[in-house]
Amino acid sequence: MGDRSGASGSRRRRTGSRPSSQGGSGPAAAAAEEEVRDVGAGGDAPAPEKDKDGDVDVGSGQWDLRCHRLQDSLFSSDSGFNNYRGILNWCVVMLVLSNARLFLENLIKYGILVDPIQVVSLFLKDPYSWPALCLVIVANVFAVAAFQVEKRLAVGALTEPAGLLLHVVNLATILCFPAAVALLLESITPVGSVLALMAYTILFLKLFSYRDVNLWCRQQRRARAKAKAAAAGKKANGGAAQCTVSYPDNLTYRDLYYFLFAPTLCYELNFPRSARIRKRFLLRRLLEMLFLTQLMVGLIQQWMVPTIQNSMKPFKDMDHSRIIERLLKLAVPNHLIWLIFFYWLFHSCLNAVAELMHFGDREFYRDWWNSESVTYFWQNWNIPVHKWCLRHFYKPMLRKGSSKWVARTGVFLASAFFHEYLVSVPLRMFRLWAFTGMMAQIPLAWIVGRFFRGNYGNAAVWLTIIIGQPVAVLMYVHDYYVLNHEAPTAAA
């Protein structure tokens, strides 16, 4: 009774001070008003006081009567809580443990399969014959040919139609010549063919951009009157003339080969340059390249190859349940290797090359892992190729009157062609699985964009990446196995 009367007296004293607090002003009035609000909201007692460390003061026992307030559970969307770092760490731990179990199971079942000598045999059949390397060296002929055509176009020794014809012949030969060598030369390996064809594909895209940019420079030079061009040049150059290059001063071998080795597919007369080489940054990238290369080779030999070999019998027997099981089993190592390869190429390798060449634009990728649509993924996971497609393919088609849908379809067609080119030619078989997979991205992008939003769209994109790639891998491996192993055995 004494406590209750004391609490009632305290309440009467606080409520009795309400008129004075309303009529007053300043900190005292605000404090009194806060007390009144606490009483009305919480019932018998205001919120407990806290000490300087943020803990509840256990000495103020009369304030401990209220321990509840209006609030939502953390998992409710209305709570506004979004710190799930602990759950993310839990997912990482579970992922590591589950993959560790799979790795241990693989070691128990197959033993250690990693063999560095076998890796060398993938590149060379004969240690005295290096056809893939010779192909890459010969590529310099096509680069010099494109340079000489541009030099003659710059001085007017060639007409634009003649220059266009020579460039078309040169670019077509860049694609056809290495393909013919890969198909006809028996001493070249599939892996060597892939590397050589990739080098020629990069050269094709770079020289295409080199021709386009120089053509635009000539068009701008013709569009301006000579007097205005001279006046604009005197006014614009000034002190900046020492560090910028204008057309046709860019037509030098130094400029050409800087572009050919730079980590970009789009040519510019003046690339952004970094001030210095950061030695620690470069060393980290080189160590990452070395370590991740060994890791990828080990994972392929130890984890991926046995799974693929064990998948041939279900394909031969057309056991659909076993095929799906093998597909899901292959999806894990395939996706892990793909993620490592992405980091190795787009972060470690391209940053190392850019650092050595003082290349300033380091945007080689964007946040594709947050993609909520297939279109966003393809626009952000490979920025050098995306910039090339946008600059030299998509926008020119729009300027010529094509619709956005036609231009986008054209970009996917070109991408599908190069994917098939880099797979079918080295394997010496044409099954169009890569081409079909790339063209299937068009309806897939529509479906994901139409029916999935937010996190569901992101999950759909991840699912297509994780499942789609091993499907293509199994298709090609199965066909290659049938063509090169079962067919000769049946013939014998």
Q: Looking at the annotation, which residues are catalytic?
A: 419
| Residue 337 and residue 300 in contact, taking contact as beta carbons nearer than 8 Å | yes
Other CB atoms within 10 A of residue 450 CB: 9
Cα distances (Å, whole numbers) of residue 17 to 4, 23, 36, 47, 488: 20, 10, 9, 19, 102
User: Which of 456, 436, 439, 440 is CA-nearest to residue 448?
Assistant: 456
Tell me the one-letter amino acid at 448: V
Token digits for 194? 């892939």
Token digits for 102? 């799979």
**Residues in Cβ contact with 250 at an 8 Å cutoff, skipping those fewer than 6 apart:** 214, 269
Give 273's strand partners.
Answer: 359
**Radius of gyration for the chain, computed over Cα atoms and rounded to the nearest angstrom:** 33
First to last CA, the chain: 106
Q: Is 26 left (phi over 0), alpha (psi -120 to 50) or beta?
A: left
d(CA 139, CA 204): 10
d(CA 168, CA 165): 5
d(CA 233, CA 235): 5
d(CA 221, CA 154): 10
Other CB atoms within 10 A of residue 332 CB: 18
For residue 474, with 0-12 CB atoms within 10 Å meaning exposed, 13-18 middle and 19 or more buried, which class applies?
buried
Cα 168 vs. chain centroid, distance in angstroms? 31
Q: Is 70 left (phi over 0), alpha (psi -120 to 50) or beta?
A: beta
Evaluate the omega torsion of the peptide bond into residue 248 and state whether it is cis, within 30 degrees of 0: yes
User: Which of 390, 419, 394, 424 is CA-nearest to residue 407?
Assistant: 394
Task: Return the axis-axis angle of helices 160-184 and 190-223, rounded to nearest 10°.
Answer: 180
Tell me the one-letter amino acid at 294: Q
Q: Classify each residue of 243-261 as buried b or exposed e, where b means 16 or more C-beta atoms within 10 Å of its C-beta.
A: eeeeebebbeeebbeebbe
